[in-house]
Amino acid sequence: MSHLNIENESEYIDITEINGKYDLIIAKSVLGGIFRYKESTVNDVNEFIESIIEKNIKQGGMMILMDNGNSYFEKYLSNFGARKNDWRFFNPKDFINPYQQYTFGFLSCFSLENRYGFFGKFFDYTLYFFDLFLSKLTNHPTVILTVYKKQ
């Protein structure tokens, strides 16, 4: 569920039930939960994206998606309590015909601060420092920001 604030009016909108046309739709970590591995395919994801753009984006408007990438460490992450909900994790090439795409991360796969407090936060920042360097060397980013523009 996303939050929309237009001229002091607040409205909550479920991305699967959007009505109306918008200049901008932003969805953070939504697609992986809606289109889980066992229940859907990457084609289903792209058909959904196309339908939202066609039905709900104004001409010249944009949709920005920020989703979790499929890291090199997926098979080990369940040992840390992650990946138990069968969410879909993406590769940059999964998103068809984006206007622009930005990727980041190699080591950052989940927040250790949520699990281990101050020490986890310290470790998160340490991983971030290494991610700045290592994410430039890999094609398996942990964060994928994809921008679509309705022409």
Asked whether residue 4 carries a pLDDT value surpassing 60, the answer given is no
- Mean pLDDT over each residue of the chain, to the nearest integer: 84
Pick 146 or 128 by higher pLDDT.
146
* pLDDT of 1: 45
- Ranges 13-27, 47-61, 94-108, 112-126, most confident: 47-61
Read out DSSP for the chain? Answer: -EEEEETTEEEEE-GGG--S-EEEEEEES-HHHHS-GGG--HHHHHHHHHHHHHHHEEEEEEEEEEEEB--TTHHHHGGGT-STT----B-GGGS-S-SEEEEE-SS--S-SHHHHHHHHHHHHHHHHHHHHHHGGG-S--SEEEEEEE--
pLDDT band of residue 137 (cuts 50, 70, 90) is: confident
CA distance 81 to 47: 31
Question: What pLDDT, in 10s, does the model give residues 53-73?
Answer: 999 999 999 999 999 888 777
